[in-house]
Amino acid sequence: MTEQTTSQYGRTHDKRPNGWAVGLTTFAGVLMIMVGCFQAFVGFVGLLENEIYVNTPNYVVEFDVTVWGWVHLLFGLVVLCAGFAVLAGQTWGRVVGIILAGLSALANFAFIPYYPIWSLVIITLDVFVIWALAAHGRDITR
């Protein structure tokens, strides 16, 4: 769990990862798993019951609720898998997590007329995941 670095004077030092950084990255991985489960649940409900969401007319992005159900279900399952990869310390999990959290935030922005409070909560969680993985994600792999 430590990395050895050599200073300019030829001395070898052990570089330990910051505890806060590892904790925040672990929290982001767990948050990705939770957000993935939430998104998959919302998608599953959207597929089963088309009449639960309020539809706002004249919005820029208009899809059928079934389409939104599939979008949320697929995003949720992939974010869930990427969250487990982040916890395992995989680099690809961090990269996929950042990309999918960004796409999830965009999808939830377009989903605001159907379910505004839920969408804003998920967007907030996605922004935190992006920040934690981009700023501190490398420390969990050490």
Task: Give the span between the Cα atoms of 87 and 97, in whole angstroms.
Answer: 11
In this structure, is residue 6 part of a structural domain?
no
pLDDT given at position 1: 47
Q: Does residue 123 form part of some domain?
A: yes
C-alpha 137, offset from chain centre: 13
- Domain for residue 1, yes or no? no
Task: Look at residue 84 in the predicted model and tell me its pLDDT.
Answer: 92
User: What is the total count of domains within the chain?
Assistant: 1
CA distance 15 to 47: 50
Contacts for 85 with CB less than 8 Å, ≥ 6 apart: 92, 93, 94, 96, 97
In the numeric block, the tokens 């697929």 are attached to 74
Is residue 72 situated within a structural domain? yes
The pLDDT, as a whole number, for residue 124 is 92
Which pairs count as long-range contacts for 118-121, CB under 8 Å and 24+ apart, including other chains?
A: 118/42
Q: Do the domain assignments include residue 8?
A: no
CA distance 131 to 102: 11
Domain with 44, as residue range(s), is: 19-141
- CA torsion sign for 80, 81, 87, 92 is negative
Q: What is the pLDDT along the chain (142 residues), one digit of tens a residue?
A: 455 555 555 555 556 666 777 788 888 889 889 888 988 998 888 888 766 555 556 665 666 778 878 888 998 899 899 989 988 888 888 888 899 889 888 888 888 887 889 889 989 988 988 888 888 656 555 4
Cα separations (Å) of 40 from 7, 17, 134?
A: 48, 33, 24
Q: Which amino acid is at 113?
A: P
Prediction pTM value: 0.70
Pick from 102, 36, 100, 101: which is nearest to 73 by CA?
A: 36
